[in-house]
């Protein structure tokens, strides 16, 4: 563990149940941190000794899972109105995982989940510029000659500049879009400005990892080599950022 985390997440990551169940363990006085009784809301610093019922609790190694999120599910731990949450698609033993970034309720496709908070933050922070690819089905063919340059040049969403990094045809009424930004509903809003209606939006890739052979609602655990490839993408982006900064200096 390389960062301070809340005790309920520490216990959940170690496989002792959901965060709510782990809160109950703490409230019952069954958990200690470095020999003192833990309190709800306590944090666990790096190197601390955590015990539950007198037994040492250790976190699991980094896990990353891929989920093919169907439409109609929220990236949230709390249901809202008619929408279910993605955790209803997961077995209880995976409810400790946090989702990496979001997909709108009506959007679908690749969603990563992990027990490594530091990795999740690195993958989602704007400065990382991790490429994400989407297959977008429209209500009519996109006029590439007229509108692609504007989408690549960018417009503003709520006073923030927003653009596509790449856009290519994928069918008569379909396009593939690559983003390195993470602005809410970015694809739908930008295409909406140009009077296109998005009929279906599917994320197919995050960094080096592509969703393949996963049916809607299915999950699978990433292999160590795939996790390392994601981490390599982060290192390459950081190196490129430093290189660009040096060039401007």
What confidence category does residue 219 fall into, taking pLDDT thresholds of 50, 70 and 90? very high
Among residues 42, 98, 104, 165, the one annotated as catalytic is 104
How many structural domains compose the chain? Answer: 3
Residue 171's region, left for phi above 0, alpha for psi from -120 to 50, else beta, is: left
Q: Is residue 17 part of a domain?
A: yes
Q: Of 59, 89, 93, 54, which Cα lies nearest the Cα of 75?
A: 89
Q: Is residue 118 part of a domain?
A: no
pTM for the structure as a whole: 0.79
Structure tokens that stand for 36 in this block: 């003192």
Q: Is residue 151 part of a domain?
A: yes
Q: Which of 41, 56, 71 is the last residue of a domain?
A: 56
Report the CATH number at residue 32. 3.10.290.10
Task: Please calculate the CA angle 83-86-89 and round it to the nearest 5 degrees.
Answer: 110
What confidence category does residue 214 fall into, taking pLDDT thresholds of 50, 70 and 90? very high
* Residues of the chain above pLDDT 70, percent: 94
Task: Determine the Cα–Cα distance for residues 100 and 135; give it in Å rounded to an integer.
Answer: 19
Q: 10 Å Cβ neighbour count for 182? A: 15
Task: Determine the Cα–Cα distance for residues 184 and 113; give it in Å rounded to an integer.
Answer: 19
Structure tokens that stand for 142 in this block: 């996109």
What confidence category does residue 80 fall into, taking pLDDT thresholds of 50, 70 and 90? confident
Residues 75, 45 share a domain: no
- Contact (Cβ atoms closer than 8 angstroms) between residue 201 and residue 134: yes
Structure tokens that stand for 140 in this block: 């009519």
Q: Is residue 123 part of a domain?
A: no
- Contact (Cβ atoms closer than 8 angstroms) between residue 112 and residue 123: yes
104 labelled catalytic: yes
**Structural domain harbouring 177:** 131-206
């Amino acid at each position: 563990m390389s960062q301070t985390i809340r005790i309920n997440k520490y216990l959940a990551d170690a496989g002792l149940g959901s965060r709510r169940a782990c809160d109950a363990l703490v409230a019952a006085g069954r958990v200690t941190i470095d020999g003192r009784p833990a309190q709800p809301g306590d944090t666990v610093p790096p190197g601390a000794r955590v015990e539950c019922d007198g037994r040492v609790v250790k976190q699991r190694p980094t896990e990353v899972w891929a989920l093919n999120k169907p439409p109609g599910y929220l990236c949230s731990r709390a249901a809202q109105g008619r929408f279910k949450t993605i955790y209803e698609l997961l077995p209880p033993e995976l409810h400790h995982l946090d989702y990496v970034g979001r997909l709108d309720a009506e959007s679908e496709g690749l969603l990563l989940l992990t027990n490594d908070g530091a990795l999740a933050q690195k993958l989602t922070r704007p400065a990382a510029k991790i490429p994400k690819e989407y297959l977008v089905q429209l209500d009519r063919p996109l006029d590439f000659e007229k509108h692609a340059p504007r989408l690549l040049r960018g417009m503003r969403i709520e006073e923030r500049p927003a653009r596509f990094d790449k856009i290519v045809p994928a069918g008569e009424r379909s396009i593939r879009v690559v983003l390195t930004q993470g602005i809410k509903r970015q694809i739908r809003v930008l295409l909406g400005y140009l009077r296109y209606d998005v009929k279906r939006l599917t994320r197919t890739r995050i960094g080096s990892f592509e969703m393949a052979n996963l049916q809607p609602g299915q999950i699978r655990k990433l292999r160590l080599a795939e996790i390392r490839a994601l981490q390599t993408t982060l290192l390459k982006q950081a190196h490129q950022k430093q290189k660009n900064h040096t060039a401007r200096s």
